[in-house]
């Protein structure tokens, strides 16, 4: 797309000369006679503005024009000698620079190009800011449609006190999601995590509910339970599927009335906690088998977040890699990049251990490499899953590598679908809309 110059100059001849000159240089040009006309223009990437105009002073109008066409820059043309006062005023009001009549067109072109460069940088920065905001929520990274939906759900539920159930295979980020919901909720208390599978059955009840001195042998002093620890905060019940049946009833009662009674205590105490549960088990199946209480299942599954396995959202892999490499960079003080071959193999592999596995792979591979992680540095089991991948380029950044790879996948899918776009989108597992967007982006006909 051509960049657009708006020329605001009431002197007809000069306006025409400028228009012709910049059109010849490949710009789109719109000429205006007055400030009013200029403010009504549709768009502009740079504005060349005369000072004396029929409906006002150009310099005074700089702030309004800049606001109107943000992030475009304004260059002032003035008929007077480089009068220090005018210059300072124009620059103070936000003009990019100014040029005095008579001037050489080539000099004005240099100004225009510099101004455009600045505008482009500003635009890129805005774009980048928008994008980093979209692909990250707290410490969670995800660009896939499924992760984007999860971000949306998290933001909505964080503001409430609703119990949340997070499901997903091991290593998909359940705990990270729970922590992030807590952070977003701005609850003033702590985030307390309890792994129901890791604490011996007999101890879990006293850990959760606490006990009074002398409640049982060994209870030499009274102790607060983890539920009370999480007062005004969030209690994360990890591996809830492993909670013993007897305790499930007690938990359910707590969820109903938010009161705890320490073991051996007479008094109940009201506690304000938000509960988040997680499991990698199939709870309905456990209910079916009688290993999980149906009423508890219904009580905790009102709002659930299911995190798909990484192999179902491979679009997330490249940004996860870049995020993880930055983490490794912080630890090791060494910069790491990834080669095209390694990236391709990592996109082919299916990750039974999900994001945690990807992290481990990159940690290992970074140890083997001297800065550029190549196919040969990957563990053998990945090489077996993605055999003999050729390295194609070394000087491209991750984004360019991903674009190459994505293009290749789209072309393959189109070939399989015999050119039928709808079918190709199905094969790729993306929506028709995003396929159309990508075809345009990569210029695929």
Ligand X SMILES: Nc1ncnc2c1ncn2[C@@H]1O[C@H](COP(=O)(O)OP(=O)(O)OP(=O)(O)O)[C@@H](O)[C@H]1O
User: Which residues of the shown chain bind ligand X in the complex (CB under 6 A)?
Assistant: 139-142, 168, 170-176, 280, 320, 323, 355-356, 359
Asked if residue 175 binds Mg ion (CB under 5 A), the reply is: yes
CA distance 218 to 361: 45
With CB atoms as reference, the residue minimizing the distance to Mg ion is 175
Give me the helix-helix angle, 354-368 and 316-332, nearest 10°.
50
Q: Which is nearer to ligand X, 172 or 340 (CB)?
A: 172
- Find the shortest distance in angstroms from Cβ 328 to ligand X: 12
Nearer Cβ to ligand X (204/278): 278
Distance CA 87, CA 92 (A): 8
CB of 312 to ligand X, least distance (A): 13
172 vs 366, which CB is nearer to ligand X? 172
Shortest separation between residue 358's beta carbon and ligand X, angstroms: 8
Where are the alpha helices (H) located in 333-441, listed in sequence order?
A: 340-348, 354-368, 380-385, 398-416, 421-428, 432-441
Picked from Mg ion, ligand X, none, the partner binding residue 29 (CB below 5 to 8 A depending on kind) is: none
Measured CA to CA, the distance from residue 323 to residue 317 in angstroms comes to 10
Measured from the CB of residue 336, what is the shortest distance to Mg ion in angstroms? Answer: 26
Residue 314 contact among ligand X, Mg ion, none, beta carbon within 5 to 8 Å by kind: none
396 binds, among Mg ion, ligand X, none (CB under 5 to 8 A by kind): none
Is the CB of 173 or the CB of 318 nearer to Mg ion?
A: 173
* Cα 63 to Cα 4, 67, 89, 423, distances in angstroms: 19, 6, 11, 51
Report CA torsion sign: 76, 79, 82, 87: negative
Nearer to ligand X, 74 or 276 (CB): 276
Residues 6+ apart with CB under 8 A from 123: 71
Nearer to Mg ion, 51 or 278 (CB): 278
The distance of closest approach from Cβ of residue 172 to ligand X in the complex, given in angstroms and rounded to an integer, is 5
Please report whether residue 357 would count as binding Mg ion according to CB under 5 A: no
Pairing of strands 136-137, 140-141: antiparallel
Give the nearest distance from C-beta 348 to ligand X in angstroms.
20
Q: Which does 168 bind (CB under 5 to 8 A by kind): ligand X, Mg ion, none?
A: ligand X
Cβ of 78: how many Cβ atoms within 10 Å?
A: 21
Q: Which residues contact 182 (CB under 8 A, 6 or more apart)?
A: 191, 233, 234, 236, 274, 276
- Beta carbon of residue 325, minimum distance to Mg ion (angstroms, whole number): 23
Q: CB under 5 to 8 A by kind: which of Mg ion, ligand X, none does 141 bind?
A: ligand X
Using DSSP's 3-state secondary structure scheme, residue 277 falls into strand
CB closer to Mg ion out of 110 and 198: 198
Supply the minimum distance, in Å, between the C-beta of residue 316 and ligand X.
7
CA distance 288 to 275: 24
Q: Which two tokens stand for residue 444?
A: 């695929």
| Between 195 and 434, CB nearer to Mg ion | 195
Query: Among Mg ion, ligand X, none, what does residue 8 contact (CB within 5–8 Å per kind)?
Result: none
Cα–Cα distance for residue pair 316/356, rounded to 1 Å: 13
Q: Which two tokens stand for residue 126?
A: 């805005």
Cα-Cα-Cα-Cα dihedral sign, residues 290, 296, 299, 300: negative
> Which of Mg ion, ligand X, none binds 122 (CB below 5-8 Å, type-dependent)?
none
Positions in the binding site for Mg ion (CB under 5 A): 175
């Amino acid at each position: 797309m051509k960049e657009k110059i708006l020329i605001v100059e009431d002197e007809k001849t000069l306006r025409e000369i400028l228009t012709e000159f910049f059109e010849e240089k490949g710009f789109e040009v719109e000429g205006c006679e007055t400030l009013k006309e200029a403010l009504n223009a549709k768009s502009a990437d740079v504005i060349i503005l005369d000072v004396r105009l029929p409906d006002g002073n150009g310099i005074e109008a700089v702030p309004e024009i800049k606001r109107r066409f943000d992030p475009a820059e304004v260059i002032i043309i003035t008929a007077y000698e480089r009068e220090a006062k005018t210059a300072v005023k124009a620059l103070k009001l936000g003009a990019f620079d100014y040029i005095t009549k008579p001037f050489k067109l080539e000099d004005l072109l240099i100004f225009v190009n510099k101004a455009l460069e600045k505008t482009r940088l500003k635009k890129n920065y805005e774009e980048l800011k928008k994008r980093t905001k979209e692909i990250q929520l707290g410490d969670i990274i995800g660009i896939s449609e499924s992760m984007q939906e999860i971000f949306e759900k998290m933001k909505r539920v964080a503001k409430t006190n609703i119990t949340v159930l997070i499901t997903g295979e091991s290593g998909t980020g359940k705990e990270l999601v729970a922590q992030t919901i807590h952070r977003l909720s701005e609850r003033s208390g702590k985030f307390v995590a309890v792994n129901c599978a890791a604490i011996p059955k007999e101890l879990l009840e006293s850990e959760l509910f606490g006990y009074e001195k002398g409640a049982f042998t060994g209870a030499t002093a009274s102790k607060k339970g983890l539920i009370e620890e999480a007062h005004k905060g969030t209690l994360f019940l990890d591996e809830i599927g492993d909670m013993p049946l007897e305790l499930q009833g007690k938990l359910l009662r707590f969820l109903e009335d938010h009161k705890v009674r320490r073991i051996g205590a007479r008094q109940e105490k009201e506690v304000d906690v938000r509960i988040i549960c997680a499991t990698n088990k199939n709870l309905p199946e456990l209910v079916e088998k009688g290993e999980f209480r149906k009423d508890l299942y219904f009580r905790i599954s009102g709002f659930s977040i299911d995190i798909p396995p990484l192999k179902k959202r491979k679009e997330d892999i490249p940004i996860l890699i870049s995020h993880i490499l930055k983490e490794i960079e912080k630890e090791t003080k060494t910069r790491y990049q990834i080669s095209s071959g390694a990236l391709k193999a990592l996109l082919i592999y299916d990750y039974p251990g999900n994001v945690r596995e990807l992290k481990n792979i990159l940690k290992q591979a970074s140890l083997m490499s001297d800065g550029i992680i190549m196919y040969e540095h990957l563990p053998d089991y990945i090489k077996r899953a993605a055999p003999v991948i050729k390295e194609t380029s070394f000087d491209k950044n991750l984004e360019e590598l991903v674009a190459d790879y994505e293009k290749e996948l789209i072309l393959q899918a189109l070939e399989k679908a015999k050119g039928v776009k709808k079918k190709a989108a199905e094969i790729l597992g993306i929506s028709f809309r995003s396929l159309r967007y990508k075809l345009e982006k990569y210029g695929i006909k």
